[in-house]
Structure 1
C-alpha cells in the first residue's frame, strides 16, 4: 500500500473543518505490526525494516496495527534531513545497528489505518485520529505529536523554530492510499538562495526548437564554483524562453564547476560563462550538498557572482 499524499498549497485553510500538524522532515513510512513483528515500508512500498532496528519494540505495543508516519532524526529537537539520508538505503544489519546506537531515530505517527484486523481507511480523519490518540504511543523512539486548530499560528511558529512547515487536513476526509488529496494540504517553508548558473540542459532532444529543461547551478567555494544541483521547476513558458536566450550568448567550451559533475547531470549539458545570478527557492541542502526541491524564481540583475557568500561546507536540509 502506498500512503495518501498531501497537495501543495500557498495558503493555510481556516475553520472548524481543518486540523493542522507539524510537517516533519524525514522519511515517510507505513509501519505494519502483525504476528509480533514490525515491518516498515517506504512511499514506494520498499521494505526498509532492516534500516531501523531501534523501532522494533513498536511491535510490543499492540498485536495488530498499521500506522502512517514519518521517521525523523532529531538534532537539537529539530529534524535533520541530512542525518536521515544516511539511513535511507542501509541494508546491512550490523551497520544499521551501529547507526541506531549512535543516532537513534524517532517515528512520528499521525494516522492509524488498521487496528486488530479492522480496516479504518473509510472512517473520517477525526475518527482515525481519536483512535490513534487512545493508543497512547509514547516513548523516546515513537510518539504521536499533537494537532492544532489554529493553522496560521502553527505555520508561523514552525517557521520561527526552523521546522519544515505544516500539513492541514480536513477532519471529515477518508484515507485513499496513493492519492494526492485536496483534503490534505502541505505548506512547507521554502528558503531562497542566490546561485550562479553554470550550464543548462534542454527539455528534450531531437526537436527543431530547443527548450530549456533545467539549469545547473552552484555557489562560490574555496576551490571554485561548487555544484548545488539542477533546477527545472519554474522554467516553463516565457520564463524559460527568455532565460535560454540569455544563456545562449554565454556558451563556453568548458564546465565552470570546480569538480566533475555526475553523468546524470552533465550528459547533454551546455556550459556557460558563470556570470548570471538567479534566485532559487528550496527546502535547503541535502547531506550531499544538493538543493532539495528547488524552484527557479528569476535572475538577480543587482548581483554578480562575487557578491555571493563563499560556501565552505554543507548544511542539512530542513
Structure 2
C-alpha cells in the first residue's frame, strides 16, 4: 500500500492576494481527506493520518471515477444541510465506528467528495509539478458525478469572498498557479481567508437547564500546557438528542475543581469536567478579554484534547 503523507496546508491571511498567478477556491466546511489507491487496495486517510475508509464506502471503488493505475488524491469530504456545507452533518458520518451505523448513515447522509489536488499518479509523484499541471491532470483522469466533484478555480478572489459572506459559508483558499505541492508543508503559496474563526476546543465545564446540559465552558492549551478558558457556547447545530447524549457522557467526567488555569468569571452554576471531549466552534472575533465573541457550536470534534491548542490560530 502507498505510504501516507501529511497534506499541504494554507496559512491564514486577512488580505486577498492579487495577480495573474493567483486563483481562489471555495473553502469547504468539511473533513480533509486523501485517497490512496495502489491499483488493488483503496484507503481514505484524513489530515491527521487516521483511516476513514469504512466511513465512506461509496468512494472506495476508485476505478469508477478515476482513470489511473495508482493515485493519491487530495480533497474535502463534505455534507450539505440547508443547501450549504455543514461540519455537523459530515461529522455524523465521520464519527461512526459500527458497521450497522455506517451502513445506515451512508444511505441517509450523503457525502460529497470535493477533489482539489493530486500527489501521485501511475507510480510517479507529481508534487513537483505546478498547480496548473496537476489540475490539468485531474481534468484528464477524473470523471465527476453528483457526489464527486473537482473544485473549480475562480480568478476574482474578492468576488468569491463576497459571495461566501452573503451565503454564510466558511471562506476561500487562494493558491498560486505555479505552486508545487509541499508534503507536510505550510506556506504563503496557499493562503486561506476565513469569515470569522473556527477551532477545536475542549470542554472544561457545563451548565444545566432542567437537568440537561445547555452550555459548554471551552478551553485551549497554551504552549506551557495550561488550559486557558476561551468562553461559553450554547447555541449552534447540536440537536436536542445531542445535548441529551452530552449530558449522559459528561457525567463520567465530573471533577471537583476547575481544570482552567484561571477561573472563568461566569462560573456560579458550572459543573467542572475533565477536558476529554472536544467540539468545533465558530466565532466572529476575539474580545479584549481573550474570549470568543458570538461562538456557535458546529459539531462534536472527533479529535483528542491535546489537539485543542492555541497554535490552531496561526
Q: Same fold (TM over 0.5)?
A: yes
Match of 1:5 in 2: 9
* Match 1:85 to one of 71, 88, 91: 91
1:55 and 2:59 correspond:
yes
Hey, what's the Cα distance between the residues in 1 that align with 2:121 and 2:8?
18
1:230 and 2:219 correspond:
yes
Hey, what's the Cα distance between the residues in 2 that align with 1:57 and 1:288?
32
Structure-to-structure mapping, 1:176-255, within 5 angstroms: 176-190=182-196, 226-230=215-219
* Match 2:34 to one of 30, 40, 43: 30
Hey, what's the Cα distance between the residues in 2 that align with 1:221 and 1:9?
40
The 1:263–1:147 alpha-carbon spacing in structure 2 relative to 1, beyond 3 Å, is: farther
Hey, what's the Cα distance between the residues in 2 that align with 1:84 and 1:151?
26
1:138 and 2:144 correspond:
yes
Gaps of 5+ in 1: 193-213, 234-239, 241-257, 276-286, 301-307
The 1:217–1:263 alpha-carbon spacing in structure 2 relative to 1, beyond 3 Å, is: closer
Tell me if structure 1 keeps the 8 A contact 2:281–2:297. Answer: no
Hey, what's the Cα distance between the residues in 1 that align with 2:126 and 2:134?
7
Tell me if structure 2 keeps the 8 A contact 1:215–1:231. Answer: no
Match of 2:174 in 1: 168
Count of residue pairs brought into register by the alignment? 254
CA displacement 1:122-155 (0-9 Å, x = unmatched): 0011110111122243112211021111111111
Match of 1:99 in 2: 105
Tell me if structure 1 keeps the 8 A contact 2:197–2:285. Answer: no
Gaps of 5+ in 2: 223-227, 229-246, 268-276, 301-314
Tell me if structure 1 keeps the 8 A contact 2:203–2:279. Answer: no
Hey, what's the Cα distance between the residues in 1 that align with 2:252 and 2:12?
31
Q: What's the secondary structure of 1:298's corresponding residue?
A: coil
1:291 and 2:281 correspond:
yes
Match of 1:205 in 2: none
Indicate the RMSD between aligned Cα atoms, in angstroms. 3.8
Match of 2:156 in 1: 150
Hey, what's the Cα distance between the residues in 2 that align with 1:263 and 1:167?
40
